[in-house]
Amino acid sequence: MKNVLVIGAGRRVRGAVLPALWCLPDRFRVAAVLSRTARELPAGPGRPPLTTVTSLDSVDVPGLDLIVAAPTIGEVPRLLAQLVERGASRAALLLDTPVLPPTGLWAASYFSSFARVLASEDSIALPPFLLARRLIDAGAVGQLQRLFFFHNGYKHHALASLKLLTGRSPIRRIVGRKFGGKRRQKQLAFANGMSATMYEPRDYATGRFLLQGDRGAIADYDYAVPPVERIGYVVEQGIYRGLTLNGEPVPPAGLDQDYLANIGTDLFDATPMTTMKIRGLMDLLVAAGEESSPLHYDPAEAVADFLTAQILDKVSYLPSPHLLEHLLRAGERLPVAAYLRARRRGP
């Protein structure tokens, strides 16, 4: 049983973080929820509401195993400093994307003071994408060549999903086109030779994806060119309940069973995408306690993806966006955290 501090009490925490923790009651105990003002939040089915705390003074910070942080992005540097000062060195830290504000990238130097720091990007753990990745790894469509996101991805979240599906290949270049309103098209070339096309704006109610290999395709809609692996969704009262593959239910395994046994109906946001995010976040919470995992999303990569998406809204061509990641990794070596540790030890 791991002790968890949740930071934040906004839509992300109420809609995804806390429900994901409720679905893992045998693995995690919520020690406290930190917010700017005290408020009552649901604590899960059959439990009385919990009252948030407004200061880390009332939290046993050295006793924490996991910190899940989803505050206002501008508060992150200050919170990192406070956690380091109070001895959070044994805890893994999950920071919600986009991780750090552009003016606070220097705060990456605090990361070395935690057991590990990861970005909680559930777009890399959405059930249909993980199933698609398993099909790709099993050779179901031969060599993956082209990926299409039809309004089902959003900016940096979509970049993270595409990189998962391509086997974490770096992005070599991106060409963007703007049309009327918010309509955009982005074409990506990856270092392993794959390409992707993403159409915006995102609309999770209608968005779909297509993955084309040299011997077939994977799609979550009725794609007309066989052979195709057709992924479908089981949804009841707006709540995701599982997947189908070629019309047959995909048997729930592992955390799927925990999710189905514990997901309630009185959710803050009972929509198919939000509940799929809850299921994906469960994987990220468990992976945070592991030394290595394909679901570990490095914070430097997450910040680089965010900045890439922001830049692409202004320009039409971006070569070598992975260079941003290398620059950010260099920033993590700034001596701020080492200085704080030395100051606590004294002369």
**Stated pTM of the model:** 0.91
Number of domains the chain contains = 2
Dihedrals φ, ψ of 179, to 5°?
-125, -165
Q: Based on the fold, state whether residues 227 and 148 are members of the same structural domain.
A: yes
Residue 308 lies in a domain: no
C-alpha 192/C-alpha 229 separation (Å) is 23
Last residue of a domain, one of 265, 287, 309: 287
Q: Based on the fold, state whether residues 101 and 128 are members of the same structural domain.
A: no
Q: Which residues contact 17 (CB under 8 A, 6 or more apart)?
A: 6, 8, 68, 70, 281
Q: Based on the fold, state whether residues 66 and 184 are members of the same structural domain.
A: no
CATH number, domain at 77?
A: 3.40.50.720
CATH number, domain at 235?
A: 3.30.360.10
Residue 300 lies in a domain: no
Residue 28 lies in a domain: yes
Residue 301 lies in a domain: no
Q: List the domain range (segments joined by +) for residue 282.
A: 123-287
Burial class (CB in 10 A: 0-12, 13-18, 19+), 47: exposed
Q: Based on the fold, state whether residues 254 and 336 are members of the same structural domain.
A: no
pLDDT of residue 164: 93
Residue 200 lies in a domain: yes
Q: Based on the fold, state whether residues 106 and 222 are members of the same structural domain.
A: no
Q: Based on the fold, state whether residues 212 and 137 are members of the same structural domain.
A: yes
Residue 292 lies in a domain: no
Q: Based on the fold, state whether residues 16 and 105 are members of the same structural domain.
A: yes
C-alpha 228/C-alpha 245 separation (Å) is 10
The CB-side HSE value for 208 (13 A sphere, CA atoms) comes to 12
Q: Based on the fold, state whether residues 163 and 29 are members of the same structural domain.
A: no
Give the length of the chain. 347
Q: Based on the fold, state whether residues 128 and 207 are members of the same structural domain.
A: yes
Q: Based on the fold, state whether residues 54 and 139 are members of the same structural domain.
A: no
Question: Tens place of pLDDT for every residue, the chain, 347 residues?
Answer: 999 999 999 999 999 999 999 999 999 999 999 999 999 998 777 778 889 999 999 999 999 999 999 999 999 999 999 999 999 999 999 999 999 998 898 899 899 999 999 999 999 999 999 999 999 999 999 999 999 999 998 889 999 999 999 998 889 999 999 888 889 999 999 999 999 999 999 999 899 999 999 999 999 999 989 999 999 999 999 999 999 999 999 999 889 999 999 998 888 889 999 999 999 999 999 999 999 999 999 999 999 899 998 888 888 888 877 766 766 666 555 555 454 444 444 44
Q: Based on the fold, state whether residues 37 and 98 are members of the same structural domain.
A: yes
Rounded CA Rg of the chain: 21
Q: Based on the fold, state whether residues 101 and 8 are members of the same structural domain.
A: yes
Q: Please say whether the beta carbons of 34 and 17 come within 8 A.
A: no
